[in-house]
Chain A
Amino acid sequence: MLSLFKPEIKMFVENYSNSISGKVLTAIKNGKSRFIFNGPAGTGKNFLAEAIANELNASFEVINLYELTDDTQSVSSMILDNIKQSAMSKSLFQQGKKVIYIEDLEKLLSVDSSIAQKLNSMAGDSIIIFESETGEIFRSKYKRFLFGYETVRFYKLNNRVLKTFALKLVLYNKMKISDGMVESIVRSAKGNISSIITDLNTIYITNSSHLDTFRNSDDSIFEKITAVFSGKVENVEIYFASDMEAKNFEIWLAEKAPQVLKKEELYHFFESLSSADIVLNKIKKQNWSLLKYVKNIMVYSCYSFKVSFPKVDFYAPKWDSYYNK
């Protein structure tokens, strides 16, 4: 296995423009002890929490509410008990502070909105950090419950920072990887730092240089079917040889279409893409044939818009014929 960096503040990776770690440390020095870490997966929320614990010589504990109980109603009291307990154990056996990291704040709030408030008055000297991955917590109905908590926002890491990190990790483990390989790993990670670690680990263990099987690196297939937009239907077959997921394919189409299609074409394209999307969401997951149809509709619609095929709405009544009579 790859040896990783110890969670320390100086090893924390963030975009050059923001200074999350500095902000949090200053806030702690000023006596703050309640935080919400908000940001997408793989931006270092967990890492920073652990690094802070190490910095303060405190013990670190993670609470995942799904691990506690099946019955969501009793979750809040379980968490409160848990934290009470750990606060107690600290005061009896340990010196120093304790950092408690609680995952999935959104779920907690939906079960018991007042839990954050209750925690605010409990276990005063330990640092409590809530983790949240969506923007749900910014809704106004939660505002009063989260009073007294400092919200720290994490942003998707850019590729430059990620590449520096990847190269550091490569050097640290004395691996031999070409620069191009590192670059493609970084690109396919899409801002998620733990994806990079996992992928480097795969290379470390298997010595495999095969790039196609890394996550989301289906760009190679996509490049080939870009020709679809230029009106070559034969290229559709190349697409069917791959096992691309319809959902990702949709997103890719939406991304690329504006580069190729004109205003009005674009409108009709998105009209048909959105209807394909509805079908895609409704069908059962195991229904392969239907999925294939949907994929085909998407591909062929791109094609037909490009060659400016006269648009016929087969579902609408043909009013023209009535008027002509």
Chain B
Amino acid sequence: MSGEVVFVLAAAAIFGLGVHGLLTAGHIMRKLLALNLMLSAVFLLLIVVPARIDGLPDPVPQALVLTGIVIAVSTTAFALALMVRLFRRQGHAAIHPDVDPRMLGHVTGRTSAGPQEEHDRGSGSR
């Protein structure tokens, strides 16, 4: 019984660390590490909580965790690849949600005269 409590407390602590990391980290790599920490906590919990005290371990959660690990690995790999792409494009690997170049109406690499300018020019020449 007491062993179970220890595991659950540990899972909670790891999960909390992960949340903290996810929220405060700037670098995407750190955020991914934090997410992986949280995943570990969840898997730990999944194994411990359903375990029957009376005897045989339940195979179902173990199967679930195995699947979960596979998903976590592939997700992490994919996220890392995405991070590398982002790094190549913008020169650093952090998320700046507020700098969205297209929000300003300019597409990268092309400058266009908007209709307003066209219109102004048109009326000026008349």
Co-assembled chains A and B: no
